[in-house]
Amino acid sequence: MRPMAPRALSLLVSLLEATQGRIVEDLLDITDRDAFQRLCDAGALVVADDVPVILCPACGDQDVAPRRIGGVLQGLCPECGYVPITNASLKAWMADPAWLLGRLRMAFGISSRQDSEELVAGTMWKVGDYTVGRRSRRIVFARRLADQSTHDAFRRALAAKIERDNAVIIGTTSRSVAMVSDLSMPFVHLAEIIHLRSGKLELDEERWAWCLKPAHLRRHDASPIFFENFRIAVVDGYEYQFSALQAGVLACLHAATSGKSFKDTIMVEVNSAQKNPVELFRHNARQFAGFNRLVEYDDYGYYWLKRR
Does position 56 interact with Zn ion (CB under 5 A)? The reply is yes
CB of 90 to Zn ion, least distance (A): 16
Contact 95, 44 (CB under 8 A): yes
CB of 264 to Zn ion, least distance (A): 53
Q: Which is nearer to Zn ion, 58 or 212 (CB)?
A: 58
**Letter for the amino acid at 68?**
R
Does position 265 interact with Zn ion (CB under 5 A)? The reply is no
Contacts 24+ apart (CB under 8 A), 246-255: 246/280, 246/281, 246/287, 246/291, 248/1, 248/272, 249/277, 249/280, 249/281, 250/226, 250/294, 250/295, 250/305, 253/295, 253/303, 253/304, 253/305, 254/223, 254/226, 254/230, 254/305, 254/308
Alpha-carbon span 44 to 93, nearest angstrom: 10
Q: Which of 58, 90, 177, 251 binds Zn ion (CB under 5 A)?
A: 58
Does position 27 interact with Zn ion (CB under 5 A)? The reply is no
Does position 63 interact with Zn ion (CB under 5 A)? The reply is no
Residue in 157, 30, 146, 48 with CA at minimum distance from that of residue 95: 48
Helix and strand numbers (H, E) in the chain are 11, 21
DSSP string covering 51-104, please? PS-EE-TTTSSSEE--EEETTEEEEEETTTEEEE--SGGG-EEEE-HHHHHHHH
Total number of residues binding Zn ion (CB under 5 A)? 7
Alpha helices in 110-183 (DSSP H): 148-161
Q: Which of 62, 241, 274, 284 binds Zn ion (CB under 5 A)?
A: 62
Q: Which of 55, 77, 85, 168 binds Zn ion (CB under 5 A)?
A: 77
Side-chain-side CA neighbours of residue 241 (13 Å): 1
Kindly indicate which of the ranges 75-83, 92-100, 150-158, 231-239 contains the residues binding Zn ion, using the contact rule CB under 5 A. 75-83
Q: Which is nearer to Zn ion, 83 or 179 (CB)?
A: 83
Kindly indicate which of the ranges 57-65, 241-249, 272-280, 282-290 contains the residues binding Zn ion, using the contact rule CB under 5 A. 57-65
Q: Which of 18, 28, 73, 80 binds Zn ion (CB under 5 A)?
A: 80
CB of 49 to Zn ion, least distance (A): 23
Alpha-carbon span 117 to 114, nearest angstrom: 9
Q: Which is nearer to Zn ion, 44 or 64 (CB)?
A: 64
Does position 94 interact with Zn ion (CB under 5 A)? The reply is no
Contact 225, 307 (CB under 8 A): yes
Kindly indicate which of the ranges 3-11, 74-82, 100-108, 215-223 contains the residues binding Zn ion, using the contact rule CB under 5 A. 74-82
Q: Which is nearer to Zn ion, 62 or 265 (CB)?
A: 62
Q: Which of 50, 63, 79, 115 binds Zn ion (CB under 5 A)?
A: 79
Q: Which of 47, 59, 217, 222 binds Zn ion (CB under 5 A)?
A: 59
Q: Which is nearer to Zn ion, 50 or 63 (CB)?
A: 63
**Contact residues: Zn ion, CB under 5 A:** 56, 58-59, 62, 77, 79-80
